[in-house]
Amino acid sequence: MAVSAFVLLILTFICGTQPAKWTDSLPDGSLKYACAGDNVHIPWNFALSASESLDDVQWFYQGRSSEMIAVLTHGNFLPLPSFSHRVHFIPNGGIIVDHVTVQDSGNYSVEISGHGDSGTFFRIKRTIILQVGADLMTTDGHLHVSENPMAVLDKRTDQWSIELHCGTFTYLGQPPFDVEWMTPSGKLMSSSTYKDGQFKLLVSAPVQGGNYSCRIPVLSISTACLPDGNGANKGKATYILDQTESRLTLLEAHQTALQKENDALKSENFLLKNSDSNLFDRLHLLEARTSHHVSFHARNLRNTSIQHDSPLIVDHVIINQGNCYSTSTGKFTAPFNGTYFFIGTSGSLATGQTGQFELTVEGQQISFVSTRDNGPLDAASVHGVVHLTQGDTVWLKVSSGIEFWSAATSFSGFLVSPDS
Ligand SMILES: *[C@@H]1O[C@H](CO)[C@@H](O)[C@H](O)[C@H]1NC(C)=O
Ligand SMILES: *[C@@H]1O[C@H](CO)[C@@H](O)[C@H](O)[C@H]1NC(C)=O
Ligand SMILES: *[C@@H]1O[C@H](CO)[C@@H](O)[C@H](O)[C@H]1NC(C)=O
Ligand SMILES: *[C@@H]1O[C@H](CO)[C@@H](O)[C@H](O)[C@H]1NC(C)=O
């Protein structure tokens, strides 16, 4: 309580000595545009508190020269000779400069001085930068229409369009003007957008080739700083749009967009599938880990002519608890450390040929069998109980290639006990 009262006291003290305040909406250093011949009003306004008194107001110009414009003292407004007939005082602090010329461009400032509480002196100062144009207010004094080499998507119609630009304006006057467009068939159009000094017209399919013109409306000619008469010509520019080329540009844009959309769809689909299968595998692994239900049995060979060192891949799955057996590789992957049992059976199909295969853990032989078909079909099995570390793979490896007997081939396994 005591502290806040103290702070309040300090604030009151500081505020009490605060000098005059600006009440207009022209921030210090604002840029103001005008056309040659305009009467320029600079609406500087300030307020004094009841205990403050005004000593004087002084205005300065800084540009092609540095000089004082006028002074207000004891209620008398006194312009200096070079401004005597063309500057007027507007209470309180503002001025009007009549019939400005390009030479009048520069910085205008005002300084207000007075006395506040207990005789303290104050001075406040403000500047605006005046830019006077005597021609078209564009970056190079001319008006140009150009074409965006890229087609643009018109958000309102969702159609690819040719974009024409008209500008580049540095000032649009107050109130700002909009240019008028005319199509080759004589239709008047207004701009679609305005950005960074450029008015933009979107021409959508079917593109009409020919003469497009952009012009400053006659009523706005003076705002654009163009003198009447030949000003009307300066305030206008044309562009010949090539119909064939434009239609081609639109087609290309459309094509590219479709391609991108397609690619995006494909990669989205891919991601979806990928994350799905990831999710699927992870879900099964989680399930296997928590329930410890791991077992599989599959039969029938996908390919019966198997080369030396390749896996026997059985792809008709009867059971696959925990989803640890893969039909694409023919391998079982241990979901966690533990003891497992496996058995694999196969035989040769052709008479008189020796089929050999083995049970492997990470490609290392656990058990081996050889089967010789002496006439009727014949089969043999490999089996083993092994301790596996999470991630180990177990599969049936062919030691010597023959034509294997699909229907007699199977591969099974299950978890005996997990490591605790
Ligand atoms: C006018 O004011 C601007 C901004 O305060 C300053 O950068 C510039 O140098 C001034 N020009 C002249 C001629 O004093
Ligand atoms: C384009 O049209 C403008 C008027 O709309 C005209 O002044 C100009 O000569 C025309 N240009 C061509 C090449 O037709
Ligand atoms: C079966 O495997 C052999 C040897 O690896 C290969 O040449 C053949 O193309 C495969 N056949 C099929 C249908 O996949
Ligand atoms: C699984 O076994 C390996 C090798 O023996 C060991 O490094 C690892 O820590 C074990 N993992 C768990 C979860 O017990």
Q: Which ligand lies nearest to the CA atom of residue 65 in the structure?
A: 1
> Does 307 share its domain with 233?
no
Give domain status of residue 263, yes or no.
Answer: no
What's the whole-number mean pLDDT along residues 292-309?
A: 89
Rounded to an integer, what distance in angstroms lies between the CA atom of residue 104 and that of residue 131?
8
Distance of CA 276 to the CA centre of its chain: 28
Give domain status of residue 55, yes or no.
Answer: yes
Q: How far is the CA of 135 from the centre of ligand 2 (A)?
A: 22
Give domain status of residue 264, yes or no.
Answer: no
DSSP three-state, residue 55: strand
Q: How far is the CA of 359 from the centre of ligand 3 (A)?
A: 21
What's the whole-number mean pLDDT along residues 325-340?
A: 93
pLDDT value, residue 388: 96
Q: Is 89 exposed, middle or buried (CB count within 10 Å of its CB: 0-12, 13-18, 19+)?
A: middle
Give domain status of residue 46, yes or no.
Answer: yes
Q: Which residue has the CA at smallest separation from atom 9 of ligand 2?
A: 238
What's the whole-number mean pLDDT along residues 55-81?
A: 93
Tens-place pLDDT, residues 142-186: 899 999 999 999 888 888 999 999 989 988 877 788 999 999 999
Determine which of 146-155, 277-286, 383-392 has the lowest per-residue pLDDT on average: 277-286
> Does 412 share its domain with 304?
yes
> Does 51 share its domain with 85?
yes
Determine which of 5-19, 26-40, 200-214, 345-359 has the lowest per-residue pLDDT on average: 5-19
> Does 177 share its domain with 197?
yes
> Does 155 share its domain with 123?
no
> Does 366 share its domain with 395?
yes
Going by pLDDT thresholds of 50, 70 and 90, the confidence category of residue 376 is low
CATH number, domain of 358, equals 2.60.120.40
Give domain status of residue 369, yes or no.
Answer: yes
Give domain status of residue 377, yes or no.
Answer: yes
Rounded to an integer, what distance in angstroms lies between the CA atom of residue 359 and that of residue 103?
98
Give domain status of residue 273, yes or no.
Answer: no
Determine which of 118-122, 170-174, 187-191, 210-214 has the lowest per-residue pLDDT on average: 170-174
> Does 9 share its domain with 122?
yes
pLDDT value, residue 250: 87
Rounded to an integer, what distance in angstroms lies between the CA atom of residue 323 and that of residue 294?
8
Q: What are the phi and psi torsion angles at 263 (to 5°)? A: -60, -45
Global model pTM greater than 0.75: no
List beta partners, residue 344.
382, 411
Q: For residue 303, which atom of ligand 3 is closest to its CA?
A: 1
pLDDT at 2 over 60: no
Q: For residue 419, which atom of ligand 4 is closest to its CA?
A: 14
Of residues 135, 96, 105, the one with CA closest to residue 33? 105
Q: What proportion of the chain, given as a percentage, has pLDDT over 90?
A: 45
What's the whole-number mean pLDDT along residues 199-228?
A: 87
CATH number, domain of 87, equals 2.60.40.10
Give domain status of residue 282, yes or no.
Answer: no
Q: Which ligand lies nearest to the CA atom of residue 392 in the structure?
A: 4
Residue 211 Cβ inside 6 Å of ligand 2? The answer reads: yes
> Does 28 share its domain with 101?
yes
Residue 212 structure tokens? 């497009």
Q: Which ligand lies nearest to the CA atom of residue 187 in the structure?
A: 2
Determine which of 152-166, 216-230, 399-413 has the lowest per-residue pLDDT on average: 216-230
Q: For residue 240, which atom of ligand 2 is closest to its CA?
A: 13
How high does pLDDT run on average in the chain? 84
Q: How far is the CA of 298 from the centre of ligand 3 (A)?
A: 20
**Domain total in the chain:** 3
> Does 219 share its domain with 161?
yes
Rounded to an integer, what distance in angstroms lies between the CA atom of residue 28 and that of residue 372?
102
Rounded to an integer, what distance in angstroms lies between the CA atom of residue 183 and that of residue 243?
13
Write out the residue range of the structural domain in which residue 186 sits: 144-247
Going by pLDDT thresholds of 50, 70 and 90, the confidence category of residue 273 is low
> Does 96 share its domain with 148?
no
What's the whole-number mean pLDDT along residues 327-338?
A: 92
pLDDT value, residue 8: 38
